[in-house]
Amino acid sequence: MENNLTHSKTLDLTPKIPTTFNVSERFYSLQCEGATSGVPSYFIRLQSCNLCCGGPMGQLLKEGKATWWCDTEPVWRKGTKQSFDEIINDWKEEGIYDRIINGLIHIIWTGGEPTLPRHVRAIFAWNDYINELEPGNRIYNEIETNGTLCPMEGFYHDKTGEFNSPHKKRYIIDQINCSPKLSNTGESADIRINEPSIRQIQRHNNHWFKFVISNEEDIDEIKETYLKPFNIAPNRVIIMPGVSERKHLAERTRFLFEMSKKYGYRAVTRSHILAWDQVTGV
């Protein structure tokens, strides 16, 4: 009897190189949070997240188990596959391609959570693609992460820990904007805190830890949960107000500034809410 296996197709087990992203939204705007606030930036929001701050659609906030809600959740839950070329062509049509290539407009990888493995693989492939297309480019990549996942080596930095090589860009991400979560999200500590991930971020020479605060007790939690255990330098800490509506922004910003004066951490308000309130994609 003839072995049917001789007629079976050979399986190609070689991992496929991504050529698309799962994009929730992307748009040209300004960075409105963190260390580079005010810099013209192109946001690529990638689909899905491993956390849900404030609960699904703010349910924990409504129940009083959280003090703020991830206001981009309705956006990052959706997404479409978009090719590398599609994004590049849109940049050219918008007249911003050259400025992105030269680092005058930052690329902000955000979410959801852009360090989910499928997104990291896509960003790796994107980096190779754009480097072949534009050798010697000065693209400046920022990433917005919750700090709970460990991307592969070479994403934040290479295996030797060498940074800013004058001869070759040895890592993909130029700036890490890590927003570790506090109990005010309603998420449990075992989900929010990942020591290997925090340590990995600290190895990068341009990392920032951004914390959303709603009350003074949050400052104590920041110190006891993150700063002391991980020996995070105070000059790498940014505090922001837990606010998602313009009508509350002025009062929450005044509170933020008082906390900055008292404790010495850099304060950055959420200026996109001042400009656009709850509108996303602008």
In the chain, where the domains are located: 16-276
What is 111-166 written as a DSSP string? Answer: SS-TTSHHHHHHHHHHHHHHHHHSTT----EEEEE-S---PPTTSSS-TT-----S
Which pLDDT belongs to residue 166? 43
Residue 27 in tokens: 């748009």
Q: What is the pTM of this model?
A: 0.85
Amino acid at 254: R
As a CATH number, domain 16-276 is 3.20.20.70
Amino acid at 134: E
Cβ–Cβ under 8 Å, residues 53 and 69: yes
pLDDT tens track, the chain, 282 positions: 444 444 444 545 556 788 999 999 999 999 988 999 999 999 999 998 887 776 666 666 566 656 556 777 778 778 999 999 999 999 999 999 999 999 999 999 999 899 999 999 999 999 999 999 999 899 999 999 999 999 988 899 764 444 444 444 557 999 999 999 888 777 788 889 999 999 999 999 999 999 989 899 999 999 999 999 999 999 999 999 987 788 888 999 999 999 999 999 999 998 777 777 777 776
Pairing of strands 40-46, 20-30: antiparallel
